[in-house]
Amino acid sequence: MTDAPGSLEPMGQQDQPILDRLAFERLTMAHRREIKLHCYRIMGSLHEADDLVQETFLKAWRARSQFDGRGSPRGWLYTIATNSCLNAIKTRSSAHRILEAPGRPPTEGRAAAGPAAELAWLEPYPDAELPDLVDDEPGPDVRYETCEAVQLAFVAAIQLLPPRQRAALLLCDVLGWSAVETAHLLGGSTASINSVLQRARATLALRHPAGRPLQRARPTDDEESLLLQRYMQAWQAADLDGFVELLREDAIYHMPPWRDWYQGREAIHGFFKTVWGNFAAYEAVATRANGQPAVALYARRHQEPEWSAQSLHVIEPARGGIASLTVYVGPLGTDLFAAFGLPNVLP
């Protein structure tokens, strides 16, 4: 890998100039999005990623005299960001975020478990904040394609890992760092990092037999566009049957922060029959999250004129229909609208 972590040793006798403010601003502008995405993958939280990318650049500015110029500035920033994330995880009550309440079987019929604000839920990531995804042909040390490594299912899967394993897997299998470079960042020997990686991959293999989240055959861009259009039309026409027809028979439905989740088209249909008439009408706005099509749904209550933010839908399209649907409902869902550049009330 060309972008090695970079030395954090003091400059000593070298006469390298300290990064001035203009050079530092260029550095942060060039790498802000990828550093933020890295923080998001580790933390599982869009809001924490925002805070940690700011913390990373503040620490880098204060420690700019320690960057000796021999390593990559990009790798130096990744070093600071990774350590900031690991330190932040130590201070919070849960080391990982979830899409599914642990040990809870799928629900049948009406949702009864209720929302669980005390649980740390995995948040979606707006595509507008993604770096340019141009790495369609990963190098030999990379195990995950770039587009795969931003999907909600992937981020949910790596949240199962202890923080150090999570960081090592991201650095080696997503970014393509060597075990030597990763050991320099995380501490320990190269052999210990290889051991950490083996345990991380084994943990993922227990949940995912292929060692990674299931990768279904994706539709073409035209098919995905048509699927999204039909999805939005079904909601706006209050067409429950049309909505259900878009789901695969084995589709999965999650709705953070509610504990309930559903498996299979019939079960999902049974749930939506209980809630479909809660609002008078819906308005759908297309967006994107985690490299996937998404919809911001606004709703108008009976006998009220205002269209208010209701839920944020992240769609996993596949050949044959929607493979999984994650709908962030209030209060978590509506709190996410601003991060996607969306108003809480339509004009």
**Confidence class for position 87, pLDDT limits 50, 70, 90:** very high
Q: Are residues 240 and 324 in the same domain?
A: yes
Report the pLDDT value the prediction gives residue 343, as an integer from 0 to 100. Answer: 97
The answer on pLDDT for 213 being more than 70 is no
Last-in-domain residue among 183, 207, 231: 207
HSE-up (13 A, CA, CB side) for residue 211? 10
The answer on pLDDT for 120 being more than 80 is yes
Q: Which of 77, 56, 60, 65 is nearest to 12 (CA)?
A: 65
Question: Which positions ≥6 away from 185 have C-beta within 8 Å?
Answer: 5, 78, 79, 82, 83, 171, 177
Last-in-domain residue among 185, 207, 229: 207
**Token output for 322:** 């929607």
Question: Which positions ≥6 away from 218 have C-beta within 8 Å?
Answer: 224, 317, 318, 319
Q: Are residues 179 and 279 in the same domain?
A: no
Check which CATH number belongs to the domain holding 235 and give it: 3.10.450.50
Q: Are residues 336 and 266 in the same domain?
A: yes
- Considering only 11-15, 187-191, 217-221, 248-252, which range has the smallest mean pLDDT? 11-15
Residue 292 lies in a domain: yes
For range 319-346, the mean pLDDT: 95
In angstroms, what CA-CA distances link 68 with 9, 91, 261?
A: 7, 31, 51
The answer on pLDDT for 127 being more than 60 is yes
Model pLDDT for residues 129-144, shown as the tens digit of each residue: 998 865 444 456 688 8
HSE-up (13 A, CA, CB side) for residue 197? 25
Q: Are residues 228 and 199 in the same domain?
A: no
The answer on pLDDT for 64 being more than 90 is no
Report the pLDDT value the prediction gives residue 285, as an integer from 0 to 100. Answer: 98
Q: Are residues 74 and 183 in the same domain?
A: yes
Report the pLDDT value the prediction gives residue 19, as an integer from 0 to 100. Answer: 67
Question: Which positions ≥6 away from 74 have C-beta within 8 Å?
Answer: 3, 30, 31, 34
Quote the Cα angle for 121-40-59, to 5°.
Answer: 130
Tell me which DSSP letter residue 18 carries.
P
Please provide residue 38's backbone torsions phi and psi, each rounded to the nearest 5 degrees: -60, -45
Report the pLDDT value the prediction gives residue 145, as an integer from 0 to 100. Answer: 82
Report the pLDDT value the prediction gives residue 133, as an integer from 0 to 100. Answer: 60
Q: Are residues 196 and 304 in the same domain?
A: no
For range 47-52, the mean pLDDT: 97
Report the pLDDT value the prediction gives residue 212, as an integer from 0 to 100. Answer: 57
Burial tier of 315 (Cβ tally within 10 Å: 0-12, 13-18, 19+): buried
Residue range(s) defining the domain that contains residue 234? 221-340
The answer on pLDDT for 2 being more than 70 is no
Report the pLDDT value the prediction gives residue 117, as an integer from 0 to 100. Answer: 85
Mean pLDDT, the chain, integer: 89
The answer on pLDDT for 7 being more than 50 is no
Report the pLDDT value the prediction gives residue 10, as an integer from 0 to 100. Answer: 34
**Confidence class for position 231, pLDDT limits 50, 70, 90:** very high
Q: Are residues 169 and 259 in the same domain?
A: no
CB atoms within 10 A of CB 155: 23
For range 115-128, the mean pLDDT: 94
Q: Are residues 79 and 187 in the same domain?
A: yes
Report the pLDDT value the prediction gives residue 135, as an integer from 0 to 100. Answer: 47
The residue among 238 and 3 whose pLDDT is bigger is: 238
CB atoms within 10 A of CB 335: 15
What radius of gyration do the chain's Cα atoms show? Answer: 22
Model pLDDT for residues 237-289, shown as the tens digit of each residue: 999 999 999 999 999 999 999 999 999 999 999 999 999 999 999 999 999 99
For range 205-219, the mean pLDDT: 68
For range 223-247, the mean pLDDT: 97
Residue 308 lies in a domain: yes
For range 104-108, the mean pLDDT: 94
> In angstroms, rounded to a whole number, what is the distance separating the alpha carbons of residues 226 and 175?
33
> In angstroms, rounded to a whole number, what is the distance separating the alpha carbons of residues 290 and 150?
5
Q: How many residues does the chain have?
A: 347
For range 7-32, the mean pLDDT: 66
Q: Are residues 132 and 30 in the same domain?
A: yes
**Confidence class for position 60, pLDDT limits 50, 70, 90:** very high
Q: Are residues 152 and 264 in the same domain?
A: no
Check which CATH number belongs to the domain holding 81 and give it: 1.20.140.160
For range 145-149, the mean pLDDT: 85
